[in-house]
Structure 1
Amino acid sequence: MNKIVAKFGGSNLKKKEDIQKLVRVIKAYDKPMVIVVSAFYGITNHLIKSMVEVKKDESHIETLVHFLRQLKAEAIEENFESKEWQDKTMKAVESRIRELSRYLTGIHYIGDVPEFVEDVILSYGERLSSLVLAAILQSQGIDAEEALPEDMPLLTDGEFGNATVDYDKAAPHVQERLKENKIYVVPGFYGVSENGKVTLLGRGGSDYSAAAIARCLGAESLDVWKDVDGFMSANPKLVPSAKRVTQLSYAEAAELSYFGASILHPRTVEPLKEVGIPIHIGNIDAFDGIIEPRTVVQATETVTEQIIKSVTYSDDFCILKLRGAGVGLKKGVLAKITVALDRAGINIKSVITSQVVINLLLSAKDIKKAFDIVEKLELSAVTELTATEQLSTIAVVGEGILDQPGVAGRMFMALAQKEINVRMIVSGASVVASYFMVANTDRDAAIEAIHQEFFD
């Protein structure tokens, strides 16, 4: 039987007792498997902050080292009964922290953070987690071993900051390295280029790295453990009557993740849908000794009675509008814009066009920079360039949403009854999702109105 790959994220490593919860879940599987772990909650942010600070002040290195040493010492003291295991593990942690410290010292002396150095430094949060967890399992008599991505190697396309795993090249190496009947603990978030450079798999990319390893192994399933009850019909903090969604297709899960549902990283589905490996979402806080998924993501496409399975949102959207009578007729306008923004490292989330307007949906952090870049292009077809304030994008997701008459009518009637103005509507780009944009102040009311219309 193929192995299971299980992913435990930073949300599973917030409190002191969380590691013991994690260990209980691993023991309940009672089989050889691959565990992929994130950094302890908040550590990646500390590493990002430290890279900025140490460029000017070397003393911040010791501040970070003290923080990491204390955090890991507490985890070790609480999770090892044997003093011998405590000392052995702390010695290994100290060695890894010294490696990190040397990279930070280099940043201080050159006064800059090269891309390849940034990727290495940010990988240390996960490296420390995997080291400690593997030692905890070993100390309890479990046949476990830490396996680092560079030792497989988990090969990527080499792009720093947001790499993609090369499944065909990586698979034989991953299979060989993880072939024994034991538990392997792998740090998530990064792989390595063909020339051995550490490359991150995007912020929050531990889900994606676990999915990539699952694909390389032909895993039985990818089990993602969270501290929430799987995918819901809406955010329970906004809609108390939200219901758990037990089944989703790959396309539905991808759309929900992209538009703000924080259950999976948006790229998690990407490696798995082509080979049909299911994703099982578990709730570690509800674990009662039985491995049972709260939500299953798989190839099966099901149309429910209410059509819509979930309504979610993202506040990270702004619109860059390019208006002009010739933007839809003059060739090359959009090409020049996209090339310029790509060179500046700005991701275009979506493009919506008419004959007289091009609307670029961008992240809020990029909107000012994008405006300046496009303005400098001095495009003759563009007579007016404007940037909207930050808006909320609400996505309504469900198989059959485009095929069932009346779904859009019910949705927008519900919004109209609450006097909510819709700034922009996109439907048809995805067969399982429609999305629209409203003012931030209308977001909560819009979600409640739609959920009430279809679920209550």
Structure 2
Amino acid sequence: MPKIVVKFGGSNLKSKSDVRRVVNVIKNYDEPLVVVVSAFYGVTNYLIESLEKARQNEKVAGEVGRYLYQLKKEALEEHPIASELLERVETDIRNLLDELENYLQGIALTGDASPALEDLILAFGERLSAVFLQGVLEGYGLDAQYASPEEIGLVTDGEFGSASIDFQKATTPVREALSGNRIYVVPGFYGVSDEGKVTLLGRGGSDYSAAALARCIGASSLDIWKDVDGFLSADPKLVDGPVRIERLAYAEAAELAYFGAKILHPRTVEPLVDPHIPIRVFNIYGDMDVEKPLSIVNSDQTIREGVVKSVTYSDDFGVLKLKGPGVGLKPGILARVTTALHLAGINISSVITSQISINILLAKKDLRNAYAVVSAEELPAVSELLVIEKISVIAAVGDGLIDNYGIAARIFSSMASKGINVVMSCSGASPVVSYFLVNCDDRSKAVRAVHQEFFEPKSIQV
């Protein structure tokens, strides 16, 4: 019988009582699992800050070790762990922290860290969580084994910071390593290159690593435990009474994640589409019934009345605008720009063109670098190069968006009725999403306007 892969994020590990909930959830499955765990809440940010501080201060290494050891020690003491087991787990944690301190001390001596060393250091949050959780589960009488990506052969393409799993190399060793009749606890967020170097899977990449493991072992499902009631029709912080979405297709979930919905990492869906492994989303603060997911993501397509299933937003994008008479029709301009950005390691999210402008949607953090890169090309057809930062992207997602007439018109009308100007829009790039750029000051009002148009008059039907 295929195992289930169960993933717990940092939002499930905010307090001492949260760990008890995690243990209870695992017990409720009453079967062998592969459990993927993130760093404790806030620890990855702490490691990022500590890495920077270590470049100037040699005392940081010791401070980090003491803080994290005390954090884990206090958490361990909340659980009924026999003294011999407790001593072993504390020793394992101490050994990991000694290793971490040595790396931070090395940075203090040299004043610098390679991308490989940065990845190695930032993976310690997940490694510590997995060692901790394995010990706690064993203390509660469960047959649990720590299984690191290094040990199980979770091989990546070797790219530091944002690696991808190499399934041709990883599938067989991972499947064999996790085939036992027990619970395996795996640290998320990273894999290893062919040379055995730690490579991160991108910020928030524990979801992606859990999905990769699910694919490798042929899991019956990937179960993700959150602190919210599954996928919703909009951010509950922005709208009153958002509607829960019980079923989404893979493409819908991927677009929602890409355009800002925090429930999944954008790459989570990627490994699961071909093997048709469903994602089941639960709320750890609910009744913890493992047979009653709040949302299911799979290959089934469902079109609701009104078509739009969810409205999301992202403040993480900006636009690089190339202006000039005929620039959109001039042969070779776009090719030169995209090649230059590719060589600079800058990802292009979308391109919207007209005769007099080329608009390139980029991550906001890349805008200034992209401006410098494109400026250096000295393109004669470009009379003006602009950076537009103060925008938000509003995305309406749902199967049938492109095939049902009038949806875009309703979105435009809903925003116009609230006095919101749409700076730019795009439909058709994906059959399940239309997105609109608005001034960042209008973001919340825009989400509420679209949600009111499609959801507030009647309840969702899927």
TM class by shorter chain equals over 0.9
Q: Counterpart in 2 of 1:428?
A: 428
Report the Cα distance in structure 2 between the residues aligned to 1:328 and 1:407, rounded to whole angstroms: 28
TM normalised by structure 2 equals 0.97
Q: Which runs of 5 or more structure 2 residues have no equivalent in the other structure?
A: 457-462
Q: More deviation in 182-191 or 43-52?
A: 43-52
Report the Cα distance in structure 2 between the residues aligned to 1:171 and 1:383, rounded to whole angstroms: 51
CA deviation after TM superposition for structure 1 residue 177, in Å:
0.5
Q: Counterpart in 2 of 1:55?
A: 55
Q: Secondary structure of the equivalent of 1:327?
A: coil
Q: Counterpart in 2 of 1:211?
A: 211
CA deviation after TM superposition for structure 1 residue 345, in Å:
2.5
Q: Counterpart in 2 of 1:239?
A: 239
Report the Cα distance in structure 2 between the residues aligned to 1:378 and 1:60, rounded to whole angstroms: 45
Contact 1:316 1:390 in 2 (8 A): no
Q: More deviation in 345-354 or 222-231?
A: 345-354
Alignment of 1:405-444 (within 5 A): 405-444=405-444
Q: Counterpart in 1 of 2:306?
A: 306
Q: Counterpart in 1 of 2:70?
A: 70
Alignment of 1:55-204 (within 5 A): 55-204=55-204
- One-letter code of the match for 1:393? V
Q: Counterpart in 1 of 2:362?
A: 362
Report the Cα distance in structure 2 between the residues aligned to 1:391 and 1:90, rounded to whole angstroms: 48
CA deviation after TM superposition for structure 1 residue 445, in Å:
1.1
1:290-341 deviations in whole A, cap 9, x for unaligned?
Answer: 4321000000000011211000000111111001124233332222222222
CA deviation after TM superposition for structure 1 residue 82, in Å:
2.5
Report the Cα distance in structure 1 between the residues aligned to 2:158 and 2:260, rounded to whole angstroms: 27
CA deviation after TM superposition for structure 1 residue 370, in Å:
1.5
Report the Cα distance in structure 1 between the residues aligned to 2:433 and 2:71, rounded to whole angstroms: 43
Report the Cα distance in structure 1 between the residues aligned to 2:276 and 2:299, rounded to whole angstroms: 6
Query: Taking every aligned residue pair, what percent have the same amino acid on both sides?
Result: 55
Q: Counterpart in 2 of 1:253?
A: 253
1:237-278 deviations in whole A, cap 9, x for unaligned?
Answer: 111121100000000000000001000000000000111000
Report the Cα distance in structure 2 between the residues aligned to 1:253 and 1:338, rounded to whole angstroms: 27
Contact 2:147 2:185 in 1 (8 A): yes
Q: Counterpart in 2 of 1:16?
A: 16
Q: How many residues align?
A: 456
1:9-68 deviations in whole A, cap 9, x for unaligned?
Answer: 000001111110000000000001100000001111111111111111101111111110
Q: More deviation in 101-110 or 198-207?
A: 101-110
Q: Secondary structure of the equivalent of 2:429?
A: coil
Report the Cα distance in structure 1 between the residues aligned to 2:292 and 2:124, rounded to whole angstroms: 31
Change (3 A) 1:33 1:288: closer
CA deviation after TM superposition for structure 1 residue 435, in Å:
0.3
Contact 2:315 2:393 in 1 (8 A): yes
1:383-425 deviations in whole A, cap 9, x for unaligned?
Answer: 1111113201000000001111111111111111111100001
Report the Cα distance in structure 2 between the residues aligned to 1:287 and 1:350, rounded to whole angstroms: 41
Report the Cα distance in structure 2 between the residues aligned to 1:66 and 1:264, rounded to whole angstroms: 32
1:202-256 deviations in whole A, cap 9, x for unaligned?
Answer: 1110000000000001100000000110100001111112110000000000000
Report the Cα distance in structure 1 between the residues aligned to 2:158 and 2:389, rounded to whole angstroms: 35
Q: Secondary structure of the equivalent of 1:102?
A: helix
- One-letter code of the match for 1:72? K
Report the Cα distance in structure 1 between the residues aligned to 2:339 and 2:31, rounded to whole angstroms: 50
Report the Cα distance in structure 2 between the residues aligned to 1:211 and 1:317, rounded to whole angstroms: 26
1:229 aligns with 2:221: no
Report the Cα distance in structure 1 between the residues aligned to 2:390 and 2:206, rounded to whole angstroms: 28
Contact 2:282 2:288 in 1 (8 A): no
- One-letter code of the match for 2:312? T
Q: Secondary structure of the equivalent of 1:118?
A: helix
Q: Secondary structure of the equivalent of 1:420?
A: coil
Contact 1:278 1:298 in 2 (8 A): yes
Contact 1:36 1:188 in 2 (8 A): yes
1:145-204 deviations in whole A, cap 9, x for unaligned?
Answer: 000001111011111110000112100000110110100000000011111111110111
Q: Counterpart in 2 of 1:390?
A: 390
Report the Cα distance in structure 1 between the residues aligned to 2:38 and 2:137, rounded to whole angstroms: 17
Report the Cα distance in structure 2 between the residues aligned to 1:289 and 1:446, rounded to whole angstroms: 36
Contact 1:423 1:436 in 2 (8 A): yes
Report the Cα distance in structure 1 between the residues aligned to 2:297 and 2:64, rounded to whole angstroms: 39
- One-letter code of the match for 1:272? L
Report the Cα distance in structure 2 between the residues aligned to 1:124 and 1:355, rounded to whole angstroms: 50
Q: More deviation in 377-386 or 214-223?
A: 377-386
Q: Secondary structure of the equivalent of 1:224?
A: strand
Q: Secondary structure of the equivalent of 2:285?
A: helix
Contact 1:364 1:390 in 2 (8 A): no
Contact 1:273 1:299 in 2 (8 A): yes
- One-letter code of the match for 1:166? D
Contact 1:308 1:454 in 2 (8 A): yes
Report the Cα distance in structure 2 between the residues aligned to 1:332 and 1:224, rounded to whole angstroms: 45
Report the Cα distance in structure 1 between the residues aligned to 2:343 and 2:106, rounded to whole angstroms: 28
- One-letter code of the match for 2:33? M
- One-letter code of the match for 2:21? K
Q: Counterpart in 1 of 2:266?
A: 266
Contact 1:326 1:382 in 2 (8 A): no
- TM-align CA RMSD: 1.1
Report the Cα distance in structure 2 between the residues aligned to 1:112 and 1:140, rounded to whole angstroms: 43
Contact 1:28 1:291 in 2 (8 A): no
CA deviation after TM superposition for structure 1 residue 81, in Å:
4.1
Report the Cα distance in structure 2 between the residues aligned to 1:413 and 1:373, rounded to whole angstroms: 38
Report the Cα distance in structure 2 between the residues aligned to 1:140 and 1:230, rounded to whole angstroms: 29
Report the Cα distance in structure 2 between the residues aligned to 1:280 and 1:389, rounded to whole angstroms: 36
Report the Cα distance in structure 2 between the residues aligned to 1:428 and 1:131, rounded to whole angstroms: 46
